[in-house]
Amino acid sequence: MFSKKANDIFQEVIKSYHFKNTVDQPFTNSYDEKTNLLEHLLYRKSWIDTVQWHYEDIIRDPNIDPVAALKLKRQIDASNQDRTDMVEFIDGYFLQKYSDVQAKPNATINTESPAWGVDRLSILALKVYHMAEEATRKNASESHRLACQKKLDILLEQRVDLSTAIDTLLNDIAHGDKYMKVYKQMKMYNDDELNPVLRGQK
């Protein structure tokens, strides 16, 4: 099933990141783009999400230097754009894979594309990892660990449900019961012509 492959890769990425556990570490993809395109895309997607997760932790430091915070905000903005681009690349993969499938006359479209479901699954993998850390943290109180364990149980259940939903959607697309469209993200705030602040600086 697709979701098992995705979840395994996400856990592989998160483990690899935390070996050094720094946002500045170099990125190396474990999967070749030419021979393992889907795995390559999933690995890259998860790495972007993992680094951004830790960007978001750092920027919430109440004592962060304002100049450093602004620099980090720019890095988060760039990461968000990379994240969106990767979602579109993954959806492009699925569009190509199922391009020969003839949708049935009564086929319906889903509320989100497969890759946006994958995006949620990638973030969920990070939530599971870090909640598990909190549920077993030695220097935390017992009440904290118990509360985090309850949250972890819910996250694990959510991962099962989301994985099942993604696999079902892909199966429905493969059999023509669902069809997919990809609407490119039309973000306006990064565009010199669409953001009035940027346009005014030209």
pLDDT tens-digit series, residues 18-63: 999 999 999 999 999 999 999 999 999 999 999 999 999 999 999 9
* Of 49, 34, 182, residue with least CA distance to 122: 49
Q: Look over the chain and give the mean of its residue pLDDT values, rounded to a whole number.
A: 94
pLDDT digits (tens, 9 = 90+) for 136-186: 999 999 999 999 999 999 999 999 999 999 999 999 999 999 999 887 776
The candidate with the shortest Cα–Cα distance to 44, out of 27, 56, 57, is 27
Q: How far apart are the C-alpha atoms of 85 and 63, rounded to whole Å?
A: 32
Share of the chain above pLDDT 90, in %: 89
Residue 77 is predicted with a pLDDT of 93
Q: How far apart are CA 171 and CA 2, in angstroms?
A: 10
The type of residue at 83 is R
Q: Report pTM.
A: 0.91
**Going by C-beta distance under 8 Å and a sequence separation of 6 or more, which residues neighbour residue 21?**
none
Q: How far is CA 33 from CA 9, 38, 67, in A?
A: 15, 8, 37
Compute the distance between CA of residue 195 and CA of residue 202 in angstroms, rounded to an integer: 11
CA distance 107 to 23: 44
Radius of gyration of the chain measured on its C-alpha atoms: 19
Domain ranges of the chain: 2-188
d(CA 38, CA 3): 12
C-alpha to C-alpha distance for 167 and 144, rounded to whole angstroms:
34
The helix/strand/coil state of 108 is strand
The pLDDT value given to residue 202: 58
